[in-house]
Structure 1
Amino acid sequence: MSNDTDLQEQVTPGTVADRAKLFRGLADPSRLAILEALRPGPLSVGQIVAATGLSQPNASNHLRCLSECGLVAGEARGRFVDYRLADLRIDELLALATELLDGPARGVDACKSYRASP
């Protein structure tokens, strides 16, 4: 069993704040759609636009954000850039979210405490 010091080390304000910031970033439907589109492999901005239905400027803005946060990486290919998930654990996180929504978290859709983003 953990002692109070072990628990305190796990729940530090910095750790909680960083995790909350990560999940706020993932909570944006446009950024999440881009990450989902990149799960099978690298895509150009045009391919991301086609896969997500986002406008090109909107997709580019979100890609810049995701890139600055270290969630996606871009590789120049001539005058185009191919984007990919920066870490395979992002794919694992999204897969785990799907599993949770299909199981223990299946009530999230009906939860009145969480409002859907516009």
Structure 2
Amino acid sequence: MTIQSTGSADPCGQLSPAAALFHSLSDPTRLSIVQRMARGEVRVGDLTGDLGLAQSTVSAHVACLRDCGLVEGRVQGRSVYYSLSRPELMDMLAQAEILLAATGNAVSLCPNYGVGSSDPTLMKEDAR
């Protein structure tokens, strides 16, 4: 992904698509769904069993990934089989694993986003 400066007065606006992409993958459940879909098509019912979550919860996460263009569905009879729509996603996640290994997973110690941190979205709202 190449992000180039346009000299705009809103540099954060340039990153909105990238931020949305990473936000769509920031939830551990969505990341688990993506990893499961990397092995092939799957139905929501299969995911509920794999993840131990309610069907409505899994459906909402799959819908988020679908709305972001990362997942697509194929109807067969009364079932919908979901799969990754962009194989590049697995390349990106593989590179993330390399980065995590190179940094010794230091991001897990981050006070804002690491293991055990509070939701940074809530912290920003509290500061207002």
TM-score after normalising by structure 2: 0.75
Secondary structure in structure 2 of the residue aligned to 1:8: coil
Work out the percentage of aligned pairs sharing the same amino acid: 35
Partner of 1:94: 93
Which stretches in structure 1 are left out of the alignment for 5+ residues? 1-5
State the Cα RMSD in Å: 2.4
Number of residue pairs matched? 113
The answer to which structure, 1 or 2, has the higher relative contact order (CA under 8 A, 6+ apart) is: 1
Question: Is 1:39 aligned with 2:41?
Answer: no
Give the unaligned 5+ runs of structure 2. Answer: 120-128
- Which segments of structure 1 move beyond 6 Å, counting only runs of 4 or more? none
Residue 9 (structure 1) aligns with = 6
CA distance in 1, matches of 2:29, 2:109: 22
Alpha-carbon separation, structure 1, partners of 2:44 and 2:58: 7
Please state if 1:23 is matched with 2:51. Answer: no
Q: Classify the secondary structure of the residue corresponding to 2:30.
A: helix
Code of the residue aligned with 2:19 in structure 1: it is A
**Aligned counterpart, 2:52:** 53
**Cα distance change, pair 104–16 in 1 and its aligned pair in 2 (3 A):** same
Question: Kindly tell me: are residues 96 and 53 of structure 1, through their superposed partners in 2, closer, same or farther at Cα, counting changes over 3 Å?
Answer: farther
Contact 1:37/1:52 (8 A) holds in 2: no
Distance 2:58 2:73 in 1: 13
Range with bigger deviation, 7-16 or 69-78: 7-16
- Larger helix percent: 1
